[in-house]
Amino acid sequence: MAPRTREVSGARPGARGSLSHLDSRGRARMVDVAAKSVTRRESIARAEVHMAKATAAQISEGRLSKGDVLATARIAGIQAAKRTHEWIPLAHPLSLDAIRVELSPDAARGCVRIEVRVLAHARTGVEMEALVAAAAAGLTIYDMCKSVDRGITLERVRLVRKSGGKSGTWLRRGEGRVGRAR
């Protein structure tokens, strides 16, 4: 049986009215995933870092005094994905199979587009790992460029695709081709 794919722009259709990280008394808890099957889980997240066109040009040309912004941001994203459970209190520590962080500077538009793909064989999804990695890569770009541009913003951190587990595949509507930062 082929996995189903859902494409939505907001809340999951048919989602239960309860939140899985709350117990029957409304207290926060870590979800028990012991009974879930280990499956291939993959998530893709994106973010954008907007800045002055001159700053984006300096990043593209490798002219910032702090060093290679893109290489540092890529490493930050990878490291953050591996340590997501330390950032997000109720996230499970996971052994990740692969993390890919793609950074696409666009000097003409004054931005760097970020796309992160995380893969694991696990009992729970890797959405948070992809989202945390995208945010960390973006924040690292800000940190390395703030001396030349205080107006930098990290925007549109979002999940664009997830697959695996009982719920199958989910794809955010309107994201275009998945697999390359856009």
Query: How far apart, in Å, do the first and last CA atoms of the chain sit?
Result: 32
Label residues 113-137 b or e (16+ Cβ within 10 Å = b).
bbbbbbbbebbbbbbbbbbbbbbbb
**Structural contact between residues 145 and 51, judged by C-beta atoms closer than 8 angstroms:** yes
DSSP label at residue 166? T
Catalytic residues: 143
**Structural contact between residues 56 and 141, judged by C-beta atoms closer than 8 angstroms:** no
Q: What gap in Å lies between CA 160 and CA 12, rounded to an integer? A: 13
Radius of gyration (C-alpha) of the chain in whole angstroms: 18
Q: State how far Cα 50 lies from the chain centre.
A: 17
